[in-house]
Amino acid sequence: MKRLFAWATLIFGMGYFILPLVGLTEFSLSMRRGEYSFDAYAAVLADPRFRETFSYSVVMALLTIVFGVLLVVPTAYWVRLKLPGLRPYVEFVTLLPLVIPAIVIVFGYIRLYNTSSWLPLTGSLTGTNLLLMFGYATLSLPYMYRAVDTGLRTIDVATLTEAAQSLGAGWVTILARVIMPNVLVAVLSGAFVTFAIVIGEFTLAALLNRPAFGPYLQLMGANRAYEPMALAVIAFGITWACMGLIQLVTRFSKHTKAAR
């Protein structure tokens, strides 16, 4: 009886997730009347705006990842090593982006960094891009921080640090040669989540008026029938590829690391 119920729940859940996907895919393939084709995909891929916005978002995602890693790894490391009492508070702060809507964040940014402010980031293109990247980093902070913090838990941070120090290493060396390589798997999984978030993000990019993939997705959705479905499938594919890579990396890591 219990078993039956479990199966029923599972099937319901799968249906809930998969049916829309199937419908979406089916629709995206039916641009040509009466037969399935990849016409919608071809149209999307041929659109120069697709390539522009997509590559813009990929670059932004990579920058966000680099910035996020440089921000989060040393912070999480330092908190674990020197300020363990602060961990609950830091964790709380990193979770805030989940509770505060992106629209609030971006309005805050615009208010704080507009052209007549003390730091007019929105006044220049580079400044706006920078601001957008900071925004992305904020949105991915909960995931990045958790991933890295979990990674740090698997090693004896304090003792490894002291071992490295007694061998003459300074902080930069310790971070680069001891901490980073040992949390690489965690960093990568955080990076993939960040990538997925940035690629699909709409609010920040739209309100900062940057040519990112998310707004393009929205624009197409408002104006076309089949192409947005193809785009949605592509976006899904990217997200799922990221998830797959996380799985892969995690499994790979079980191989090389083990009980110390």
Partner 1 sequence: MAFLDIEHLEKSYGATKVVKDFNLAVDKGEFVSFLGPSGCGKTTTLRMVAGFETPSVGAIRIDGRDMARLRPNQRNIGMVFQAYALFPNLTVAQNVAFGLKVAGESRKVIDERVAEMLETIGLPDLGNRYPFQLSGGQQQRVALARALAVRPQVLLLDEPLSALDAKIRVSLRGEIRAIQKKLGITTIYVTHDQEEALSMSDRIVVMHQGIADQVGTPFEIYNRPRTRFVANFVGTLTLLEAEVLDPASGHVSIGGVEATLGRRLPKGAVTLAVRPEMVSLGPAPGRETEVTGRIVDVDFLGSVIRLRAQIGQSVLAFDTFNSSDAPPPKVGAMVTLSLAARDLLLIGE
Question: Among residues 116 and 159, whose Cβ is nearest to partner 1?
Answer: 159
Q: How far is the CB of 257 from partner 1 (least distance, A)?
A: 6
Q: Contact 205/128 with Cβ under 8 angstroms?
A: no
User: Which position among 43, 95, 110, 155 is part of the footprint of partner 1 (CB under 8 A)?
Assistant: 155
Cα separations in angstroms, 97 against 5, 22, 100, 182, 221: 36, 32, 5, 27, 27
Q: Contact 75/87 with Cβ under 8 angstroms?
A: no
Question: Among residues 126 and 256, whose Cβ is nearest to partner 1?
Answer: 256
* Separation CA 187–CA 49 (nearest Å): 31
Please name the residue ranges forming H helices in 114-256.
125-153, 157-166, 171-173, 180-182, 184-200, 203-207, 213-223, 227-256
**Structure tokens given for 226:** 């089949």
User: Which position among 182, 189, 194, 203 is part of the footprint of partner 1 (CB under 8 A)?
Assistant: 182
Q: How far is the CB of 259 from partner 1 (least distance, A)?
A: 6
**Structure tokens given for 73:** 């790894």
192's CB contacts (< 8 A; 6+ apart) are 242, 243, 245, 246
Question: Among residues 178 and 233, whose Cβ is nearest to partner 1?
Answer: 178
Q: How far is the CB of 186 from partner 1 (least distance, A)?
A: 13
* Span near partner 1 by CB under 8 A; candidates 38-46, 52-60, 73-81, 154-162: 154-162
Q: How far is the CB of 27 from partner 1 (least distance, A)?
A: 48
Q: Which x/- pattern, by CB under 8 A, does the window 230-259 give for partner 1?
A: --------------------------xxxx
Q: How far is the CB of 160 from partner 1 (least distance, A)?
A: 6
Residue 159 near partner 1 by CB under 8 A? yes
* Separation CA 225–CA 230 (nearest Å): 10
**Structure tokens given for 53:** 């916005």
Question: Among residues 32 and 257, whose Cβ is nearest to partner 1?
Answer: 257
Residue 24 near partner 1 by CB under 8 A? no
Helix (H) or strand (E) holding 53: helix 48-82
Question: Among residues 26 and 162, whose Cβ is nearest to partner 1?
Answer: 162
- Interface positions, 161-180, toward partner 1 (CB under 8 A): 162-170, 173, 177-178
The site for partner 1 (CB under 8 A) is made up of 155-156, 159-160, 162-170, 173, 177-178, 181-182, 256-260
